[in-house]
Amino acid sequence: MHRLKSVPPEKNLLDFLGNLQRTHYCGALRASDEGRDATVMGWVSGRRDLGNLLFLDIRDRTGIVQVVFNKESQPSAHAKAEQARSEFVVAVEGKVIKRQKANPELATGEVELLATKLHILNNAKTPPFPIEDEINAAEETRLRYRYLDLRRSKPHRNLALRHKIVLEIRKTMDELGFLEVETPMLTRSTPEGARDYLVPSRVHHGQFYALPQSPQIFKQILMIGGMDRYFQIVKCFRDEDLRADRQPEFTQLDVEMSFPRQDDIFHVIETVMVRACGVAGVKTQGPFPHMLYKDAIRKYGSDKPDLRFGMELHDVSQYFTSADRQPLGLSGSIFALAATGAASYSRRQIEELNERGISLGAKGVYTIKVGGDGPTSSLERLMGGKGRLIQIVEAVGAKTGDLVVIVGAQKHIPGTEAAALVTGQLRLLLGEQLGLIDKSKWQFVWVTGFPLFEWSETDMAWVSAQHPFTGIVEEDIELLEREDPNEKGKIRSKGYDLVLNGNELGSGSIRIHRQDIQERLFRALGLSEEQLRSRFGFFLDALTYGTPPHGGIALGIDRIAMLLAGEKSLREVIAFPKTTAAVDLMANSPSTVDGEQLKQLGIRASQRDRKIECACGGEWRIYYDEISAPINVPSQLKCPIDPKYVYLVPDDLSGITLIRHRAPLTQKWADFYRHVEDDV
């Protein structure tokens, strides 16, 4: 991939660390150290050669210090410094002196180190991107060379902040009487609404462990075991379609308490969050406000409302008669908001809103401009004059200069407000565009009163809105067995979410602690007696041995760290993140495994393809199908770009069907070997 632009000195010219001892971190030197002897160690991050004077910037985790090599006074150190290149690892012995002209950009800017000796401890290839704060390299390149990306100061700052947050959380939980208990990683499926990552068992062929989607069942069992207050900073694994703000493995603060009232759990979490925010310099205070789920949907079109700005939604369904709805093709409810000062939006901006609304699932987005001489809208003709337009403008509280944005949904999905949800998304977009969001605010809110079930269009069934262990409001328990499926949508859960600035930080609930109710719930979800026994039998049994009322919550540590670090992507606060395609570009995982390993596990991979980097910078790709009969594949293939690179075809793959090579610059594929099964 990378060419060796700078290789000197030869490996045998490298120095050993020996007994050399670091006296100072690079970023620690200050004017008060003037006159001291110092030995610093780190990476060469910059080099300026002025003939008699040669300057190297040396970087370590704490920052950068300038080192000066003087040809006259220290000729041998100077000569050695001439060999140093970017990212070489060095140790410098010298004396701290005042700089003639201070550099206010650097914390160490008042001083420099006058070198007496340079030790080159290791050399380095030229990195594929410069190690600087401002970075233009593609994220793919940064992830592939994560070790270089991590050398920049921002990842250091972010990981240090994350460490402090986690440490503070641990301290707080300890002070509040919680015990950190580890739960297994090789376990059985815990339903959290995603797919499991499975691990095949070698000892029991055909059987699998599941990596935990969460420790949910185990933490409840810890309550049955009398642990009373549990927490864990724990990895969870969910195989779901990834979005920018999701990672297949992520870290949670997982909490469970016995005999809690909802308020007790809230109080614990408020204490933890206020202190975690504190270490990031963010001042907040409990108690956090509460909002009912139905109000969050009705007013903000979201179950994670961003309360840093207003622009609330209004249900304007009543202003549309069925005669209006028919030509517009609307049958569900209609929501609207007054976009502050957006009457000046151009046609194109309005068209963009419309397109966004439709892509989010609306049937149509309509607008009313509120000008000095009243409302204007394309709806006027349809609605037979301005009368109802004026009513809508008043209902949403729009002022002159505002734009009323109206969203209609095509169909009514049970238990959801499609139009409200789309309007809620447009609210966020408009809030951002119009600069209405106060970015200095840290607005926490507890959302409560969730429905127990939600309608899944994919499964065409009612599914748990959270997970199937969520408690049920007592008066609604009887609705579990109701025949009328719509009654299911009315059952209220004892679940809650913690939301910060429009981000869901986590969710939890008071649990079902009675075996009979848990069993009824599973049945209401459509589990057969057999499924219920095989999946949850052990848990249902445990519930029968004196289970205390209990409840808890889990918060996403990655997301908390991301928000407190002021980052937009989770990848910025995770040392080794995966891409949105769930790939670790550095370690190259997932990857294929040896046939032998598969054999031991009793597994046959029917179809795979294998990617191998070619030394020319391109890539080999082998497609194969283990089911097809073994065939003769050449054991060596020459790279079409540079024939000195040879690819040794693995001999453990029998049914290769295609081998291709991709050129590094043109990205063009060349087919090398194609096997066509004989048609019999």
Interacting residues toward ligand ASP by CB under 6 A: 192, 214, 216, 467, 507-509, 552-554
Contact 88, 44 (CB under 8 A): yes
Residue number with CB closer to ligand ASP (214 or 367): 214
* Least distance in angstroms from the C-beta of 566 to ligand ASP: 25
Residue number with CB closer to ligand ASP (467 or 492): 467
* Least distance in angstroms from the C-beta of 252 to ligand ASP: 6
Residue number with CB closer to ligand ASP (332 or 552): 552
Q: Which residue has the tokens 């700052």?
A: 157
Contact 180, 233 (CB under 8 A): yes
* Least distance in angstroms from the C-beta of 214 to ligand ASP: 3
Residue number with CB closer to ligand ASP (408 or 551): 551
- Alpha-carbon gap, residue 448 to 494, rounded angstroms: 8
Q: For strand 461-464 and strand 403-408, is the pairing parallel, antiparallel, or unpaired? A: unpaired
* Least distance in angstroms from the C-beta of 329 to ligand ASP: 38
* Least distance in angstroms from the C-beta of 505 to ligand ASP: 11
Residue number with CB closer to ligand ASP (511 or 662): 511
* Least distance in angstroms from the C-beta of 656 to ligand ASP: 42
* Least distance in angstroms from the C-beta of 535 to ligand ASP: 16
Residue number with CB closer to ligand ASP (127 or 552): 552
Query: How does DSSP assign 334-379, residue by residue?
Result: EEEEEETTGGG--HHHHHHHHHHHHHTT-SEEEEEEEETTEEEETH
What the block records as the tokens of 211 is: 């990596």
Residue number with CB closer to ligand ASP (183 or 443): 183
Residue number with CB closer to ligand ASP (332 or 508): 508
DSSP class of residue 297 equals H
C-alpha 294, offset from chain centre: 27
Angle between helix 153-175 and helix 262-279 axes, rounded to 10 deg: 140
Residue number with CB closer to ligand ASP (408 or 508): 508
Give the residue from 103, 136, 115 showing the smallest Cα distance to 58: 115
- Alpha-carbon gap, residue 126 to 592, rounded angstroms: 30
* Least distance in angstroms from the C-beta of 232 to ligand ASP: 11
Strands of 179-228, DSSP E: 179-180, 198-200, 208-210
- Alpha-carbon gap, residue 295 to 303, rounded angstroms: 9
* Least distance in angstroms from the C-beta of 18 to ligand ASP: 50
* Least distance in angstroms from the C-beta of 552 to ligand ASP: 4
Residue number with CB closer to ligand ASP (301 or 508): 508
Element (H, E) at 628: none
Residue number with CB closer to ligand ASP (305 or 508): 508
* Least distance in angstroms from the C-beta of 198 to ligand ASP: 19
- Alpha-carbon gap, residue 404 to 445, rounded angstroms: 27
Contact 459, 468 (CB under 8 A): no
- Alpha-carbon gap, residue 561 to 558, rounded angstroms: 5
Point out the residue whose Cβ comes nearest to ligand ASP: 214
- Alpha-carbon gap, residue 39 to 5, rounded angstroms: 29
φ and ψ of 527, to 5 deg = -75, 135
Contact 41, 74 (CB under 8 A): no
Residue number with CB closer to ligand ASP (426 or 553): 553
What the block records as the tokens of 551 is: 């409840």
Residue number with CB closer to ligand ASP (431 or 551): 551
Q: Which amino acid is at 250?
A: F
* Least distance in angstroms from the C-beta of 216 to ligand ASP: 4
DSSP class of residue 476 equals G
Residue number with CB closer to ligand ASP (553 or 622): 553
Three-state SS string across 36-71, please?
A: CEEEEEEEEEEEEECCCEEEEEEEECCEEEEEEEEC
* Least distance in angstroms from the C-beta of 393 to ligand ASP: 42
CA atoms lying within 13 Å on the CB side of residue 245? 13
* Least distance in angstroms from the C-beta of 254 to ligand ASP: 7
Residue number with CB closer to ligand ASP (86 or 509): 509
- Alpha-carbon gap, residue 292 to 446, rounded angstroms: 8
Neighbours of 446 (CB within 10 A): 18
Q: How far is CA 319 from CA 52, 325, 393, in A?
A: 83, 10, 11
Residue number with CB closer to ligand ASP (45 or 216): 216
Q: How far is CA 206 from CA 203, 559, 598, 638, in A?
A: 9, 36, 12, 40
* Least distance in angstroms from the C-beta of 294 to ligand ASP: 21
* Least distance in angstroms from the C-beta of 511 to ligand ASP: 8
Contact 341, 329 (CB under 8 A): no
The per-residue b/e assignment along 326-363, b for 16 or more CB within 10 angstroms, e otherwise, is: eebebebbbbbbbbbebbebeeeebeebbeebeebbbb
Give the residue from 491, 409, 413 showing the smallest Cα distance to 455: 413
* Least distance in angstroms from the C-beta of 212 to ligand ASP: 9
Residue number with CB closer to ligand ASP (408 or 556): 556
